[in-house]
Amino acid sequence: MTGGRRRAALTATAWAAGLATAGVLAGCADPGAHQPAAVATAGDPARGSHLVQTYGCGSCHVVPGVSGATGKVGPPLTDFGQRSYVAGLLPNNQGNLEHWIRDPQQVLPGNAMPDLGVTQVDAQDIAAYLLTLGR
């Protein structure tokens, strides 16, 4: 093989190796990282806002648009619709958020979020409201 052909073969091999490495690294990336939450596909956000007040979520969380929701126990729910994760572990989408709202101790045993007995319909509406925040 001549010098020019050898360099071209090495360049092609290096390019292919770089492309393969980029593909592997892309496959390792966390698919939810820096991704905003999915938009709610069901539920009534206006009713959800009212339910946040009814269930007393504001005693632990700051919740924009909810009167008296100035709690400091849990994280503020400001811009919740832009977050990547629910409870730091579940990709932030409507189904996972509803699950967290309904049974936070099953999702993360021992955490400070209490089981408030939220119904499925109420969780759907609360999730729909929270996913609008920051959009």
For the chain, which residues make up each domain, given as ranges? 1-30, 45-130
Q: Is the pLDDT at 125 greater than 60, yes or no?
A: yes
Position with higher pLDDT, 31 vs 93: 93
If you compute the radius of gyration of the chain from its CA atoms, what whole number of angstroms results? 23
According to CATH, the topology of domain 45-130 is Immunoglobulin-like (2.60.40)
For position 2, what pLDDT does the model report? 60
Q: Which range, of 18-22, 39-43, 51-55, 57-61, averages the lowest pLDDT?
A: 18-22
For position 76, what pLDDT does the model report? 97
Position with higher pLDDT, 42 vs 2: 42
Alpha-helical regions (H) of the chain: 3-28, 45-54, 94-102, 104-107, 120-130
Region for 88 from its dihedrals, namely left if φ exceeds 0, alpha if ψ lies in -120 to 50, beta otherwise:
left
